[in-house]
């Protein structure tokens, strides 16, 4: 299991939101370029970037993000307002390693079907897609966690798998931003149902003990860690050591 550091960007600044609330923002005194380089210099190969402006339909950050990406060899897992086939294609063609889709995949039944068939030369875009599933009490939430989907969690997983999407970013909303521990019970349920999925856990990580709890589940591919790093509960050296061991085992 690999640790993926998270960077949330709002108005070109590195921030964190509590439970997705734009009125509850913590700003960090480090630039996106500096934060990426800090991780890269310590052996991290992939970083998780969320464009919080993009999540609201404002893509004023995007050109800035593209310019930053051109300056690094870091692989980027990117999310924030990706609600069209064209946007997925634009991001992958710009060099984004993985594109996260969430709201559109839930609210538009044909979106994943169209995306699953999108190929260009050797590029199969579905291989670069991560399906985001934000969950509160086993209910899938979308549109900034304001709307609830009628589709059952397990049914949605099965639908995505049938279309060729196998990598999922699952966030336990009740845990996110609170540093209270990961949603181990939720992830166990998903993996018991379908151990073949590539599961990326997100939300609530407060310590390396929480990382180990996810590791003990087995079959969790990776975990996104954000606030615990900025709050100095998990050090970059600890991430470096963990990821090095993970790569050796892999």
pLDDT of 43: 87
- Looking at the chain, the whole-number percentage of residues with pLDDT higher than 70 is 96
Per-residue pLDDT at 176: 63
Radius of gyration of the chain (CA): 17
The confidence band for 213, taking pLDDT boundaries of 50, 70 and 90, is very high
Question: What pLDDT is attached to residue 240?
Answer: 94
Domain that holds residue 241: 2-249
Q: Mean pLDDT over residues 215-220, rounded? A: 91
pLDDT at 98 over 90: yes
pLDDT-based confidence at 56, cuts 50/70/90? confident
In 3-state terms the chain splits into helix, strand, coil percentages (rounded to 5) of: 40, 30, 35
Residue 250 has pLDDT above 50, yes or no: no
Which CATH number does the domain housing residue 105 bear?
3.20.20.70
Mean pLDDT of the region 105-124? 89
Q: How many independent structural domains does the chain possess?
A: 1
Q: At what angle do helices 208-217 and 236-249 cross, to 10 degrees?
A: 20
Question: DSSP letters of 119-182?
Answer: EETTEEGGGGEEEEEEEETTEEEETTTTEE-SS-HHHHHHHHHHTT--EEEEEETTTTTTTS--
Sequence-ordered list of residues with C-beta below 8 angstroms from that of 207, at least 6 positions apart, any chain:
228, 233, 234
Active site residue 8: yes
Q: What average pLDDT does the chain have?
A: 90
**Structure confidence by residue, pLDDT tens digits, 159-202:** 999 999 999 999 888 766 556 678 899 999 999 999 999 999 99
- Among 134, 172, 176, 210, the active-site one is 134
Greatest mean pLDDT among 85-89, 138-142, 145-149 lies in: 85-89
């Amino acid at each position: 299991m690999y640790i993926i550091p998270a960077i949330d960007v709002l108005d070109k600044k590195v921030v964190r939101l509590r439970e997705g609330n734009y009125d509850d923002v913590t700003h960090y005194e480090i630039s996106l370029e500096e934060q990426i380089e800090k991780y890269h210099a310590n052996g991290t190969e992939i970083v998780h970037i969320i464009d919080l402006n993009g999540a609201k339909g404002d893509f004023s950050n995007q050109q800035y993000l593209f310019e930053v990406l051109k300056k690094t060899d870091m692989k980027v897992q990117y999310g924030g307002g990706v609600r069209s086939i064209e946007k997925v294609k634009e991001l992958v063609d710009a060099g984004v390693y993985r594109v996260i889709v969430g709201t559109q995949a839930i609210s538009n039944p044909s979106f994943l079907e169209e995306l699953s068939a999108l190929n260009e030369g050797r590029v199969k875009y579905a291989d670069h897609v991560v399906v985001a599933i934000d969950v509160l009490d086993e209910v899938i939430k979308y549109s900034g966690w304001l709307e609830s989907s009628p589709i059952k969690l397990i049914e949605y997983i099965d639908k995505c798998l049938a279309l060729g999407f196998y990598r999922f970013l699952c966030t336990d909303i009740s845990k996110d931003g609170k540093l209270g521990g990961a949603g181990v019970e939720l992830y166990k349920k998903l993996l018991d149902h379908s151990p073949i999925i590539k599961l990326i856990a997100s939300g609530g990580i407060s310590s390396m003990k929480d990382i180990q709890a996810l590791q003990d589940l087995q079959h969790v591919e990776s975990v996104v860690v954000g606030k615990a790093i900025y709050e100095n509960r998990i050090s970059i050296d600890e991430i470096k050591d963990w990821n090095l061991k993970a790569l050796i085992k892999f």
